Amino acid sequence: MLAAIPLMIVPLIGYNLIMVGLLGEGVAGLGSTIISLSMMSGAVWTMSLGDLLIVVALVLLFIEVLKATRTGPMSVIDHMLSMFVFIAFLVEFLLVRDAATQVFFILMVIAFIDVIAGFTVSIRSASRDVSIGL
């Protein structure tokens, strides 16, 4: 049953925790530097909290695409819940002032790709499972 929970809910919850101030100083904290590394070229590479949230979402998207290759009744529930997570992203993006940021928009697009990829991969893998008896 836990395998049917869409992982894209993690970035949604994480962003909302940042937005209300539980993980930093609100949406202004998305630009705060988490890590800063000096490169061999002399440039300084920095990663902000918003960048980290996007990277986590991309890793979870990869896992979601792998989960989409499963067939069975739980995969349908997983796709349905992924659609609800995307709808939650969309509604929050449209209605909440602090969600109208580039980071949240990218997270919403990742959730949309999760929904589309999940349905596409499931349909393709299910069509390969169909055998026609002669």
Q: Per-residue pLDDT tens for 10-22? A: 999 999 998 888 8
Residue 27 has pLDDT above 90, yes or no: no
**Amino acid letter, residue 40:** M
- Domain ranges for the chain, please list them: 7-129
pLDDT digits (tens, 9 = 90+) for 53-78: 999 999 999 999 888 887 777 878 88
The mean per-residue pLDDT over the stretch 71-89 comes to 88
In this structure, what DSSP letter does residue 37 have?
Answer: E
Say how many Å lie between the first and final Cα of the chain, rounded: 37
Report the pLDDT value the prediction gives residue 132, as an integer from 0 to 100: 58
Give the H/E segment covering residue 131.
none
Report the pLDDT value the prediction gives residue 122, as an integer from 0 to 100: 78
Each as own residue / partner, the long-range contacts of residues 14-22 (CB below 8 Å, 24 or more positions apart, any chain) are 14/53, 14/56, 15/53, 15/99, 15/103, 15/104, 15/107, 16/92, 18/49, 18/53, 19/96, 19/98, 19/99
Token readout for 120 is 């596409």
For the purposes of burial, counting CB atoms within 10 Å of the CB of 22, is it exposed (0-12), middle (13-18) or buried (19 or more)?
A: exposed
For 102-128, the pLDDT digits (tens) are 999 999 999 999 999 988 887 777 666
Q: Encoding tokens for residue 25?
A: 């100083």
pTM over 0.75: yes
Q: How far apart are CA 106 and CA 119, in angstroms?
A: 20
> What pLDDT is attached to residue 128?
60
